[in-house]
Amino acid sequence: MSTPESEISGRVPTLLRVSAALSWRFVVVVAALYVVAYVFGFLASIVIPVAIALLLAALLSPGVSKLVEWRVPRGVAVTVMMIIGVGVLGGVLTFVISEFSRGLPELQTQVAASLDTIQKWLKDGPAHLSDQQLQNYLNEIVKTIKENQAEITSGALTTAATLGELLTGLLLALFTLIFFLHDGDGIWRFVTRAVPRDVRQRVDVAGRRGFGSLVSYVRATAVVAIVDAVGVGVGLAIIGVPLVVPLSALVFLGAFVPIIGAVFTGAVAVLVALVTNGPIAALIVLAVLIGVMQLESHVLQPLLLGRAVKLHPLAVVLAIACGLVTGGIAGALLAVPLLAVLNSGIRSLVSDSDALQTPEKVDVLNPQDTAPKDDTGERVKEL
Q: Which helix (H) or strand (E) holds 13?
A: none
Q: Which residue has the higher pLDDT, 16 or 8?
A: 16
Residues 113 and 140 grouped into a single domain: yes
- Residue 363 resides in a domain: no
Residues 82 and 149 grouped into a single domain: yes
- Residue 375 resides in a domain: no
- Residue 129 resides in a domain: yes
Q: CA–CA separation, 45 vs 172, rounded Å?
A: 9
Going by C-beta distance under 8 Å and a sequence separation of 6 or more, which residues neighbour residue 127? 121
Residue pLDDT, tens place only, 232-270: 889 888 888 877 888 888 888 888 877 777 788 888 888
Number of domains in the chain: 2
Average pLDDT, integer, range 117-140? 67
Residues 57 and 155 grouped into a single domain: yes
Average pLDDT taken over every residue of the chain: 77
- Residue 362 resides in a domain: no
Q: CA–CA separation, 143 vs 154, rounded Å?
A: 18
Residues 45 and 165 grouped into a single domain: yes
**The pLDDT value given to residue 1:** 47
Residue pLDDT, tens place only, 164-221: 677 888 888 889 999 998 888 888 888 888 888 888 888 888 888 888 888 888 888 8
Residues 90 and 216 grouped into a single domain: no
- pLDDT band at 32; cut points 50, 70, 90: very high
Residues 286 and 180 grouped into a single domain: no
- The residue out of 156, 188, 220 marking a domain boundary is 188
Count of alpha carbons within 13 Å of 30, Cβ hemisphere only? 6
**The pLDDT value given to residue 382:** 33
Residues 33 and 169 grouped into a single domain: yes
> Which 8-state DSSP code applies to residue 213?
H
Average pLDDT, integer, range 25-30? 91
CB atoms within 10 A of CB 271: 12
Residues 219 and 144 grouped into a single domain: no
- The residue out of 155, 188, 221 marking a domain boundary is 188
Residues 238 and 350 grouped into a single domain: yes
- The residue out of 122, 156, 188 marking a domain boundary is 188
- Residue 349 resides in a domain: yes
Residues 210 and 239 grouped into a single domain: yes
- Residue 366 resides in a domain: no
Q: CA–CA separation, 62 vs 67, rounded Å?
A: 9
CA angle in degrees (0–180, nearest 5) for 22-322-269: 160
**pTM metric for this prediction:** 0.72
Q: Which residue has the higher pLDDT, 356 or 192?
A: 192
Residues 65 and 183 grouped into a single domain: yes
- Residue 156 resides in a domain: yes
Say how far residue 142 (Cα) sits from the centre of its chain. 38
- Residue 195 resides in a domain: no
Q: What's the Cα-to-Cα distance from 67 to each of 60, 72, 163, 214, rounded to whole Å? A: 11, 5, 35, 20
Residue pLDDT, tens place only, 35-73: 988 888 888 888 888 988 998 888 888 888 888 889 888
- pLDDT band at 31; cut points 50, 70, 90: very high
Domain region containing 334 = 203-357
**The pLDDT value given to residue 138:** 65
Residues 22 and 151 grouped into a single domain: yes
